[in-house]
Amino acid sequence: MAGHPWVRRGYSAALLALSPLIWRRVWRENLPGRSRAERWGCIATPSTAVRTLWLHCASLGEVQAARPLIEALARRYPERRLVLTTMTATGAERAHAIAERLQGEGGAAEVSHYFVPVDFPGAARRFLERLRPELAIFFETELWPNLLAACERRGVPVAVVNGRLSPRAFRGYRRLGRLMAEALSHVDWLGAKSEDDAERFRALGMVASHIAVTGSLKFDMARDDEAFEVSERLRSGFGSRSVWVAGSTHEGEEPAVLEAHARLRERYPDALLILVPRHPQRFEAVAELCRSQGMTVARRSMSEAVTAETSIYLGDTMGDLLALYGAAGLAFVGGSLVPVGGHNLLEPAAMGVPVLTGPELANFTDVAEALREQQALVEVTDAATLAEALMRLLGDAAERERLAAAGRAVVEANRGALAHTLEGLGRLLQAK
């Protein structure tokens, strides 16, 4: 076995020392009716006749990005059980929604979800013994040393798909050099988003011959007809108002968004902001922030009607972001005015909505560059420049249409990562 197993033992000891903090996080990230014992690998054992594909995504954003792959695996391997795991409760809810739809369509023999076990050696071993996957697939940067090692011990091939390492993440992982080299020694195939990502994985110790540059799965978004239908109903209800959306916003970002909206309403008094915070635990605080600034709020979760007096429509529900993007004339993607690294710029682009963003895009540099090359991205730096961009674009229908068309063209032109990824996964399964 390559790598440095002794480093993993030190890592496991550190996890044990941090177990009170880990348990606190586990206690919070759960769903009603679900046993927290899943976090220790205590899951149901399937029939030995069932062949299982396991796909792990960290949270909501990763589940959304992995949706084309999830659907493709269900279609390509309908005789297999497809198990999704997540770290967060919001990711679990989205995984359940996708699973229910796939099973309703008859797309797979079984699609189910578990919470991923905490990366203690015993929990990882117990989870693998009970799940018995034929293939383990980790999405993006989910590199859990004990889970990866447990896969190798059981002879389970491991793939990392849509592999990405931002410069910031790379610097952090590099400080754990030997631990990461040991973890990557258990990966049989890695599909990197870009050559830059591939180079960073090689620098961490990944065997070069096990890496392929596949492109980003985010470009392979499937058309969501249901989201388009919801968008159309919302637009009809909004009438002729000037509507923009700020999606996936974070703490410290909403004040700038609200300031930009207040400036916009000085010129466009009927302007309506659809505000969609990234994390559900912040819905109440964001609603209160809006009201504290004298803005009338209608909450989606409460089915409150948008009236002529409504200034903000708060998207405080889960799984509706695509539809809310499509209901607007302009879309600002959050996580980009604060040092988060941005969120998926392709979601509004795929819905035919012009895309605005702040400067913090470390997690989406490849996507941002593709949009920039086709002049399909409007970049702002603060509340003032965001307000200026909104006012300029609301007054220029031709430019809005150009941006929307350019964004859709970028999505279409960069498809193909899904086919490359399925090819790589197919080779691993054939080698079993």
CA dist list (Å): 274 to 65, 165, 311, 316: 22, 31, 9, 10
220 has a pLDDT exceeding 50: yes
What's the pLDDT tens digit per position in 114-144?
999 999 999 999 999 999 999 999 999 889 9
What average pLDDT score do residues 290-308 get?
Answer: 97
Which position has the token pair 């990366």? 119
Q: Give the pLDDT confidence score for residue 109 in this predicted structure.
A: 60
Give SS3 for 68: helix
Could you tell me the pLDDT band of residue 4, with boundaries at 50, 70 and 90?
low
Active site includes 110?
no
Residue type, 10: G
Could you tell me the pLDDT band of residue 229, with boundaries at 50, 70 and 90?
very high
By the 8 A CB rule, do 358 and 416 touch? no
Which position has the token pair 């096990």? 210
Cβ atoms within 10 A of the Cβ of 175, count? Answer: 8
Q: Tell me which of 29, 62, 347, 360 is the catalytic residue.
A: 62
Q: Where in the chain is the domain with CATH 3.40.50.2000?
A: 225-413
> What average pLDDT does the chain have?
93
103 has a pLDDT exceeding 60: yes
What average pLDDT score do residues 150-174 get?
Answer: 94
Q: Give the pLDDT confidence score for residue 2 in this predicted structure.
A: 47
Share of the chain above pLDDT 70, in %: 97
What's the pLDDT tens digit per position in 236-271?
999 999 999 999 999 999 999 999 999 999 999 999
- CATH for 225-413 is 3.40.50.2000
Could you tell me the pLDDT band of residue 201, with boundaries at 50, 70 and 90?
very high
417 has a pLDDT exceeding 70: yes
Read out DSSP for 220-237?
GPPP-HHHHHHHHHHHHH
Question: What's this model's pTM, rounded to 2 decimal places?
Answer: 0.85
What's the pLDDT tens digit per position in 318-364?
889 999 999 999 999 999 999 999 999 999 999 999 999 999 998 88
Q: Give the pLDDT confidence score for residue 25 in this predicted structure.
A: 83
Q: Give the pLDDT confidence score for residue 307 in this predicted structure.
A: 96
Q: Where in the chain is the domain with CATH 3.40.50.11720?
A: 5-12+36-215+416-430
Q: Indicate the helix (H) or strand (E) that contains 299.
A: strand 297-299
CATH of 5-12+36-215+416-430, one of 3.40.50.11720, 3.40.50.300, 3.50.50.60, 1.10.645.10: 3.40.50.11720
CA–CA gap between residue 159 and residue 55 (Å, rounded) = 9
CA–CA gap between residue 345 and residue 334 (Å, rounded) = 9
27 has a pLDDT exceeding 90: no
What average pLDDT score do residues 14-21 get?
Answer: 90
What sign does the dihedral 233-325-218-134 (CA atoms) show? Answer: negative
By the 8 A CB rule, do 132 and 46 touch? yes
CA–CA gap between residue 26 and residue 89 (Å, rounded) = 10
